[in-house]
Amino acid sequence: MPSTEKVLLVTGGSRGIGAATARLAAEQGWAVAVNFVGHSLAADEVVRAIRARGGSAITVQADVSDETQVVRMFEKVDAKLGRLSGLVNNAGVVDVSARVDEMGAARIRRLFDINVLGSFLCAREAVRRMSTRHGGAGGAIVNVSSAASRLGSPGQYVDYAASKGAVDAFTIGLAREVAAEGVRVNAVRPGLIDTEIHASGGLPDRVAQLRHQVPMQREGTPEEVAQAIVWLLSDAASYTTMSLIDVSGGR
């Protein structure tokens, strides 16, 4: 049966920042849909951990770059948990470290399809459910951007940084578009965070190599980023929209 709790969808919720966000949101009373593409066991474990603490959670498989899968994912959340109140656009990828003059179109297209198009499609479906223009009761969207949108990631991930720059611009535009319709839209920009994304980009030692560049002289944790995300989702941030919050240790 649909939950009476506020309903949150976290894309890319099986690991890292997404998983930490799902767990923390559940602790604060949200019913959580944990999206994943391929890491089903990890997503199941997040849901088990939430339920073990008395929370409500389900897994929902979908590739956020595929419009048909996105629509089906939201319909499943509607049926299993109820009307959506929050969305965290966390799903994202990085590719192997490369210069721009070494990148092929397929790599760039894949990255933008997931990081940018995926955020648009999921936000579209969320607005259709939350906006008072569509009969909704309001809600909050948090986009997970990156400090890379400010830094550019030269010599490594300029394409990733550019995709996150697009997420920043999307956050600002959408926030203004739906501000009078009860929907708040913000972004969190993590800095050097200890997650598996570095290894997926072929640089498993990246955190150790860049730690010295962080004024706080350490990497952040997924849980520290989750605190900012869940605050932005909450009523405590009721007058906060169109904000880009850096969680980067000063970098």
pLDDT at 2 over 80: no
pLDDT of residue 1: 46
Query: Catalytic residue positions?
Result: 160
pLDDT at 53 over 60: yes
Cα Rg, the chain, nearest whole Å: 17
Give tens-digit pLDDT for 152-202.
999 999 999 999 999 999 999 999 999 999 999 999 999 999 877 645 556
All structural domains of the chain? 7-247 (3.40.50.720)
Instruction: Check if the beta carbon of residue 225 is closer than 8 Å to that of residue 143.
Output: no
| Alpha carbons 47 and 33: distance in angstroms, whole number | 9
Whose tokens are 């640089």? That residue is 203
Q: What would the mean pLDDT of 125-146 be, rounded to a whole number?
A: 98
Question: In which band, very low, low, confident or very high, does the pLDDT at 69 lie, cut at 50, 70 and 90?
Answer: very high
Neighbouring CB atoms inside 10 A of 236's CB total 10
**The token pair that represents 77 in the structure block:** 């959340």
pLDDT of residue 113: 98
Of residues 18, 16, 14, 15, the one with CA closest to residue 219: 16
**The token pair that represents 191 in the structure block:** 């800095």
Higher per-residue confidence, 235 vs 203 = 235
Of residues 64, 43, 202, the one with CA closest to residue 143: 64
